[in-house]
Amino acid sequence: MEITELNEKIKQESDFVDILFNEIGKVIIGQKEMVERLIIGLLANGHVLLEGVPGLAKTLAIKSLSSSMKAKFQRIQFTPDLLPADLIGTMIYNQKEGNFSIKKGPIFSNFILADEINRAPAKVQSALLEAMQERQVTIGPSTFKLDEPFLVLATQNPIEQEGTYPLPEAQIDRFMLKVKITYPSREEELKIMHKNVGGMFPTINPVISQKQIISARKLARNIYVDEKIEQYILDIVMATRKPSEFGLSDLSDLISYGASPRATINLALGARAMAFIKRRGYVIPEDVRSICMDVLRHRVAVTYEAEAEEINSEKIIENILNKIEVP
């Protein structure tokens, strides 16, 4: 498909993005970046981890997104006593017939809200892992494919660490994006107060279909990425592994390990999804830069030395973005 033809097709097909923003905007005030990242996860078929203190509308945003399309939604509150069977389902013995039947768990939905994911023990986290990566679930001897679209949207509280089980690197790497949610502005908070105190809660209507999302995903994967942009993505990821080769020797002792190849894949997919949202048939460097922090912040591990100097992965990524030449 020619770029001009692709551009026109995307302009037509991406109409629903504005409609989606407007529909979610009925209940979510501000937090444009969070909503944008959720839509990017939806378009790029990637799971999203939202991190922020309680009360920042993380759960509400996810519920609003699922309500805006005709899709099945399940909220699972992760707690220390949760069992894998509570998530994926189990085999139940039928006394009357003398056999076992399968009872499917809440994972069999389109949108899974894993609330406070770091509160559940490792067994539950690993049960979720198969569903996230393989898009299938095994109960006893049977394996079931999950419906499309299937998206895990998880939340975690960065403050309270008592009674939590930090996500292992293998699992956190399976989240396409880790989005940090900040407080709303003064004006936004005033609107939030008026809406909640006045009891004005608009209803979210389904404005897009699952078919539209699957079609948009296919189209987003065809968005043109120039070779220079591909090299730019590779430079950013490689700089997290071998910073000295990119004139960033001062970072060598601060990085414990760099981003995995999943980072490269997700940067390319995320940049394409961003171009789709901006209604373009081609990726520009700004698409890569805008999504870069969310793709890399949970994939770059810092050393004890960096922690002692109060340097986190975000500062390292900022240094890399400032140093790598933009095509």
Exposure letters 74-109 (e unless 16+ CB within 10 A, then b): bbbebeeebebebbbbbeeeeeeeeeeeeeebbbbb
> At residue 117, does pLDDT exceed 90?
no
User: Are 7 and 1 a contacting pair, CB within 8 Å?
Assistant: no
For residue range 45-89, what is the model confidence (pLDDT) as tens digits? 899 998 887 777 788 888 888 888 878 888 888 888 888 888 888
Task: Give the whole-angstrom CA distance, residue 217 versus residue 140.
Answer: 33
- Asked if residue 40 has pLDDT above 90, the reply is yes
- For residue 242, pLDDT beyond 80: yes
Domain residue ranges in the chain: 31-196, 223-323
Is the domain 223-323 a CATH 1.10.8.80 member? Answer: yes
- Mean pLDDT over each residue of the chain, to the nearest integer: 86
The gap between the terminal CA atoms of the chain, to the nearest Å, is 24
The answer to whether 31-196 and 223-323 have equal CATH topology is no
Asked whether the predicted pLDDT for residue 32 surpasses 90, the reply is: no
Indicate the fold that domain 31-196 takes in CATH.
Rossmann fold (3.40.50)
- How does pLDDT run across 157-167, given as a tens digit for each residue? 777 666 667 77
Task: Mark out the alpha helices in 166-260 (DSSP H runs).
Answer: 169-172, 186-197, 210-221, 227-241
pLDDT digits (tens, 9 = 90+) for 275-305: 999 988 899 999 999 999 999 999 998 889 8
- What angle, 0 to 180 degrees and rounded to 10, lies between the N-to-C axes of helices 227-241 and 285-296? 30
